[in-house]
Amino acid sequence: MKHRLSARSCRTPAFMRLARYSPRTDGLRASLFTSFGVSSQSVRSRKLLIAALMAGATALATPTAFAQNDDTPPALDTASAVKAPATPSSQVGKLTLDQQVKWLRAAQQSGALEKLGDAQLVALFQSLDPLALPRYIKEGPNGYPSYEFTMARSERIHGQWPDKPDHMLVRVAHDPLRIYAKWLPDGARAGQEIIYDESKRTDEMYGHLGGIMNVMPVWTSLNGALARAQSNHQVRDLGTEYIANQYLSEGKKYIEAGLPRSTQVEVKTIDGVRVVAFTFETPTGQPQFYAKKETLGLDLRHPYFRTVESYDNDGKIFEKIVFETITPKTFDDSTFDPKNKAYKF
C-alpha cells in the first residue's frame, strides 16, 4: 500500500476547539478527559436456549469483519472488507460522539470518506462534535509497526529559513524503536545518513555528514550541538506517530487552560492527493503552545496527518513538512546496521 504526495508542505500538530456542553455528550466528554492520563433475561424455552448456543458457536467460527460498530480499529496494513456507513454525511453531526467516531472510522476504511465532494467534507467536519477528531486520531492506529516514507522538511533554525527543504528517505521499526534516515540528492544536506537503535544506545545516534564532509561517522547525542544545528526535533520524532501525539498533547493544554480555539476547515489537493486541512489558531501562542497557528492535513484513508505547517507569534512559518510516500514494510536487522553495503557509513 503506497500513498503519494509530493508538494512541499507542512508539519506539527494541534487540537480542536473546546467541546460545547450538552446533556447528550457531557458524560462521554468527562470520561474522555479523565482517560487522557448485561443484565439478561432468562431463557424460557429449551429450543430458544439451543438456538442461542448454536448462534454463538456460528459467530465464533466466522472470521470477524471490522464493521462500523467495532470498538477496536484494525491495523493499517490489515486488509478488511468494511461496509460504508449507512448514515449520510449530512446527518453525522446529529449522532452521539461515539457514533461519530465510529462513522469516521468506517467511512475511512471503506473508502466512502474520500469519495465525498469538497463541500461535503467541509460540511461534515464542521458539523462534528469538537471531540470527534481527537478521539478518531487517538484511537488510531497512527502508523505501522514498520514502514518506509519519504518526506520534505523545512525548519527555521536560529532564525534562518532554508533555501530548500531536506528531502529524506526514512525507515522506521518499533519495539524497539529503530530508525534509518538518508538525505536524498535533490534536497539540503544530500548524502547524510543516520541510524538510531534504542536497543543499543537510547540517547545517541550514529551518523555522518554529506558532501565533502562525508568523513568518519561518529556517535552523537540526540540533543547535541550537531543535532540541534539541523533540527528542532530529535531523530525519535520522525514519523506519523509523532504528529498525532503532538496534536493530542496540544489538545490537553487547551482543556487544562480552558481556552477556546478557532478552527478553519478546507479541502486541499496536493499533487493529486486530497486532504482535509484544519487550521487552528491559539489565543496566546508561544511559549504556552507549540505554535501560534497550525494547519494539519488529514489523510482521507488513514487516521493520521500527512501535512502540517506551524507559525510563530509573528506569523512567520517555522516548520513545514509533508509525507510524500508512506509504505508499510518489513525490515531485517541489516536495515539498521551501519555495515549494510547499501549505506555509506
CA atoms within 13 Å, Cβ hemisphere of 48: 5
Q: What grid cell was written down for 165? A: 527543504
The more confidently predicted of residues 205 and 82 is 205
Q: Looking at the predicted structure, is the pLDDT value of residue 152 above 50?
A: yes
- What is the three-class DSSP state of 55? helix
Residue 336 — pLDDT band, cuts 50, 70, 90? very high
Largest CA distance in the chain: 84
Q: What is the pLDDT of residues 259-298, one digit of tens each?
A: 776 689 999 976 556 799 999 998 889 999 999 999 999 9
Angle among Cα 43, 47, 50 to the nearest 5 degrees reads 85
Q: Which three cell numbers stand for residue 117?
A: 465532494
Reading phi first (left if > 0) and then psi (alpha if -120 to 50, else beta), residue 191 is in left
Collect all residues with Cβ–Cβ distance below 8 Å to 209 and sequence separation of at least 6: 189, 191, 192, 215
Task: Summarize the confidence of residues 150-177 as an average pLDDT.
Answer: 95
Least confident range of 2-11, 133-142, 208-217, 335-344: 2-11
pLDDT of residue 274: 79
Looking at the predicted structure, is the pLDDT value of residue 235 above 50? yes
Partnered with residue 171 across adjacent β-strands are 148, 180
244 Cβ neighbours under 8 A, 6+ residues apart: 13, 137, 138, 140, 142, 143, 303, 304, 305
**pLDDT value of position 179:** 98
The confidence score (pLDDT) of residue 291 equals 96
Tell the burial category of 286 from Cβ atoms under 10 Å away from its Cβ (0-12, 13-18, 19+): middle
- The three cell numbers locating residue 243: 504528529
What pLDDT does 202 receive? 95
Using an 8 Å Cβ cutoff, are 68 and 103 in contact? Answer: yes
67, 45 in Cβ contact below 8 A?
Answer: no
Q: Which residues contact 287 (CB under 8 A, 6 or more apart)?
A: none
Choose among 234, 227, 205, 211: nearest CA to 336.
205
pLDDT over 90 percentage in the chain: 64
- For residue 38, what pLDDT is reported? 40
Other CB atoms within a 10 A radius of the CB of residue 262 amount to 11
